[in-house]
Structure 1
């Protein structure tokens, strides 16, 4: 294992000279993770983990952005992982996503997501070394059912982080200003308060319309005829379903066309006489 020969507290060392070992280990670690699917797949997961995880050189963690996540997997891929974590699909459905998911975790791109040593070994064996469940089960000395149960918990924890990245991206897009410069701000009133105000306005309008109708003259819609006339008609045996009562009033709207027709007939007769 490489170690620094001289350790000083000078500013020159901390700024330039002292960074070479962590950077060298980070580069070696990244290349080793990519090569675990080849000859290094013969390593047992415990040995591979001891090479990747070095307590002397800690690699800083980084939170994944939505753009970086899109380079590894799509929204439908995350949905498949979520379906498996909810026991709605078999693990064969997500095996093609394990290399990308394993790289995200072991490259410290998943923030504060933490897995136990056994869970990390399972993710490394299935995702980076491309081992089968039976081979990995014999190397870890775990029954297949227990191994798949731990793997399900591992995927569930990773899905929680990925969903958080996607939700944060949506929230960030919602608060951005629009093209006209206006921003979407939360309303000051709740929906229940707005509905109550609209209901009060509607009641005021209905009351105003009702008062307006009361002031109008409704006598023109009154039923014609006296009580004596209605009594005679209803008492008669030959009363039909439709009855008529003399109102004593002339219908002006019907009389005017009759007068006009009579005047036209007289005028036509005078022409023929001449």
Structure 2
């Protein structure tokens, strides 16, 4: 029996919808999430610098106390974290690592690995410009740093396997113990984790002139999780500031368009 044109069109639509549902990746095109990632990386850099200042403090004598006080005042400032539009606490802050001990180690390792290929024309990690930090071709290096740092942290916390792929059991346990700990967030988090675990992600990316590869799956999964949380936040926990309303509207449009 032949298939009618209408049925063929319907099957095509179902096939495409299935691909959209099962395939997910992140290309650094979302300025809000980019800012989230950049803030996160900068915080790790500040923590590493703070450790170094602490080491210098022990080594310095009293003659340098005035300069040291200036450094102390800087690090007494609270690290800037983007607030979530869902709930009072930033659920995503603890993604991958609560407390940051591995984050500092991975940050130093990745930054040292990249020193040999640092592009002097690219903006530094400390650039505080208002531009979207991931929109320019010249800063592929910055994207790679994020990918490699997140992969490193994920492996150490057992949410990422040694090949860079997701560890479903590790992620479920980590999310339950460190992220979705409030009663209202448990159902939201559980559904978000399962949906994002069901996606297919792009795997290896390689920087020219750099030995080895880094797997972007951890960053891609994090983006999926962030979108699910912000989009499906319970109404009673929604931040009603204009920027949050705009964010939810934009994310819902992206979801409805299959992006």
TM-score in terms of structure 1 length: 0.21
TM-score in terms of structure 2 length: 0.21
Which has the larger Rg?
1
